[in-house]
């Protein structure tokens, strides 16, 4: 996880133009309005740190504890001719697949254009509110980031170094008061941001180089917005990363997947575990234990538990959510479960297979039995799906795995990307205060924050902040044939879905009487399940056991 960055980042100003054309830009900014400080790079990397003065992910804010180092978007798909196309990023010392800026009419991005777009636009909602309260808008009284916002047709749009940008296609979102499709800030129009603070940038995978994966570029353009709320509630422990993936090529891509790669560093660099929560489509990142011993540096007593939750994915329709495609971790070595070196490796990891195409397996047979994740067990799409607080469930804690450096990739399910079409993905970085370590750590606290992240996305922070405390009850637990769910004080019509530990939605006959739901679980195999309850103002997850 702590890797030596090459000196090329810091020699940019001293090299020739011909060499600098291959050098990535270091422009970086942070969402820093709430309890998490989380960065975004103009190349699309997230949670990245280039120097000791620019931590990639700080929680709690003000502690200078860097929790997650780099993260990045991975994409893959096949064209109609059966050719694989992959775009990805890891530590950036091995190559560069993504470059700042939009693609031109031919579907490519040259270095000069990329240089001009090497900028992150940062806007606070308070600035927008102040701007909207003005009666007359001029170039002198309009905040710079509102005036220079890269909306379509904005004659005041500015990029890197103040260069004028000519924008003829839909780019950064804005409130179009007169409906003419042109961003006109002096007419009172303003950036259409989410949250109380937002960053926006655009990056593409067919720029000056495509050397991280050495694959065929897809010819996609990604519009990225990172945003957060400051409300004095659990939403202050959430930062969202919103991606719109636009296909600027002439190819239709099938069997596409999009994923978030990350390298957690919750405690010391070599004291990490990962797990998966299927209900929230969430990778869970946590510590091995509190303290230290020979060979294990240990962790600080205030180390949190964190998660990466895929709140919105291609395939979601209304309240019907598709399961995540896969969640796996791999090692920092050259094994079949090691660092990817070919485009097929990236593709395989996004489909829960090893570098050699062998499927990951669930080899867990009980506590203190090491799980290598490939061997004689059944194939699985998600690794370590159990809560470590229960010794009968599959987790790194209960396998007795050696803690250490972890790289993981959480992916969508398959989708199609047509020429000129787009797909949307939203990731929430969530954090909960100190949860201890193995043994005994529970995922309950991070699931509660994830519930908040999902509810705010579905209903807005304003609606969620006014939700009364719910008093839902689920019983009996364990259950045999019938499970009762009492929604308590909630008067809103709700929906219930039940998922097994693999994230598969169960066929569940449900009868409702008043605020009470009766679920027929008689045909369920014995084991652990998650019940997800949603209504117009809230979302809650509950765990139960089928005997």
- Please, are residues 254 and 78 in contact by the beta-carbon 8 Å criterion? yes
Q: Is residue 475 one of the residues assigned to a domain? A: yes
Listing DSSP states for 85-151 in one string gives EEE--SSSSS----EES---TTS---HHHHHHT---EEEEHHHHHHHHT-SS--TTTS-HHHHT---
Residue 512 falls within a domain, yes or no?
yes
Task: Quick: pLDDT tens for 111-158.
Answer: 999 999 999 999 999 999 999 999 899 999 999 999 999 999 999 999
Low-confidence ranges of the chain (pLDDT < 70): 1-21, 49-55, 64-69, 267-270, 287-302, 365-372, 434-436, 462-472, 488-493, 536-539
Percent of the chain topping pLDDT 70 = 84
* CATH number (domain holding residue 536): 2.60.40.10
Domain count, the chain: 1
How high is the pLDDT of residue 439? Answer: 74
Residue 29, preceding bond cis, omega within 30 degrees?
no
Is 485 among the domain residues? yes
pLDDT in tens, 40-63: 999 999 987 665 445 688 888 877
Residue 530 lies in a domain: yes
**pLDDT (0 to 100) of residue 269:** 63
Q: What are phi and psi of 444, to 5 degrees?
A: -60, -45
Query: Across 420-493, where does the E strand assignment appear?
Result: 422-432, 473-475, 482-486
- Residue pair 84/76 in contact by the 8 Å Cβ criterion: yes
- Assigned domain for 527 exists: yes
Q: Quick one: pLDDT at residue 366?
A: 55
Residue 299 has phi, psi (to 5 degrees) of: -140, 165
Please tell me the predicted confidence (pLDDT) of residue 295.
43
Per residue in 190-202, pLDDT (tens digit) is 999 999 999 999 9
pTM of the model: 0.84
Question: Which pLDDT tens digit goes with each residue over 64-79?
Answer: 666 666 789 999 999 9
Residue 40 belongs to some domain of the structure = no
Is residue 451 in some structural domain? no
What pLDDT is recorded for position 19?
A: 37
pLDDT of residue 332: 85
**Structural domain containing residue 495:** 467-546
Residue 372: per-residue pLDDT: 67
User: Does the residue 510 lie in any domain?
Assistant: yes
Which pLDDT does position 517 carry in this prediction?
A: 86
């Amino acid at each position: 996880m702590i890797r030596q960055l090459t000196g090329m980042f810091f020699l940019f100003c001293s090299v020739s133009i011909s060499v600098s054309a291959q050098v990535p830009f270091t422009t970086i900014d942070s969402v820093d309005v709430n309890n998490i400080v989380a960065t975004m790079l103009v190349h699309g990397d997230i949670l990245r740190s280039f120097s000791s003065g620019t931590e990639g992910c700080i929680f709690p804010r003000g502690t200078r504890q860097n929790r997650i180092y780099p993260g990045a978007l991975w994409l893959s798909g096949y064209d109609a001719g059966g050719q694989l196309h992959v775009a990805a990023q890891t530590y950036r010392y091995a190559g560069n697949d993504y470059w700042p800026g939009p693609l031109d009419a031919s579907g490519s991005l040259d270095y000069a254009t990329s240089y001009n777009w090497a900028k992150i636009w940062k806007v606070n909602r308070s600035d927008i509110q102040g701007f909207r309260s003005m009666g007359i808008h001029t170039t002198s009284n309009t905040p710079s980031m509102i005036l220079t916002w890269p909306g379509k047709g904005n004659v005041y749009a500015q990029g890197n170094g103040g260069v004028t940008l000519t924008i003829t296609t839909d780019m950064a979102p804005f409130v179009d008061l007169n409906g003419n499709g042109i961003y006109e800030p002096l007419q009172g129009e303003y950036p259409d941001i989410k949250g109380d603070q937002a960053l926006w940038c655009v990056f593409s995978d067919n720029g000056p180089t495509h050397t991280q994966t050495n694959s065929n570029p897809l010819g996609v353009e990604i519009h990225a917005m990172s945003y957060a709320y400051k409300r004095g509630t659990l939403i202050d422990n959430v930062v969202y990363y919103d991606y719109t993936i636009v296909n600027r090529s002439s190819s239709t891509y099938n069997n596409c997947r999009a994923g978030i790669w990350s390298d957690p560093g919750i405690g010391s660099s070599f004291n990490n575990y990962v797990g998966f929560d299927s209900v929230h489509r969430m990778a869970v990142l946590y510590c091995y234990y509190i303290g230290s011993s020979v060979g294990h540096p240990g962790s600080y007593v205030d180390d949190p538990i964190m998660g990466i939750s895929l709140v919105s994915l291609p395939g979601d329709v209304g309240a019907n959510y598709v399961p995540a495609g896969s969640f796996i971790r791999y090692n920092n070595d050259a094994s079949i479960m090691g660092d990817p070196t070919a485009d097929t490796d990236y593709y395989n990891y996004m489909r829960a297979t090893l570098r050699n195409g062998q499927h990951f397996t669930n080899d867990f047979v009980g506590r203190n039995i090491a799980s290598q994740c490939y061997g004689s067990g059944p194939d699985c799409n998600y690794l370590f799906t159990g809560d470590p607080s229960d010794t009968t469930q599959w987790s790194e804690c209960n396998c007795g795995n050696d803690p250490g450096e972890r790289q993981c990739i959480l992916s969508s399910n398959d989708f199609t990307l047509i020429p000129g079409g787009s797909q949307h993905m939203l990731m929430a970085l969530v954090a909960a205060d100190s949860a201890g370590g193995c043994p005994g750590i529970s995922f309950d606290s991070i699931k509660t924050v994830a519930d908040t992240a999902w509810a705010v996305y579905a209903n807005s922070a304003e609606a969620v902040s006014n939700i009364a405390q719910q008093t839902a009850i689920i019983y009996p637990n364990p259950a045999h044939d019938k499970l009762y769910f009492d929604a308590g004080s909630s008067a809103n019509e709700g929906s219930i879905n039940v998922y097994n530990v693999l994230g598969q939605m169960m066929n569940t006959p449900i009868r409702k009487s008043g605020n009470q739901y009766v679920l027929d679980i008689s045909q369920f195999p014995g084991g652990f399940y998650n019940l997800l309850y949603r209504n117009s103002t809230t979302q809650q997850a509950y765990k139960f056991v089928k005997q």
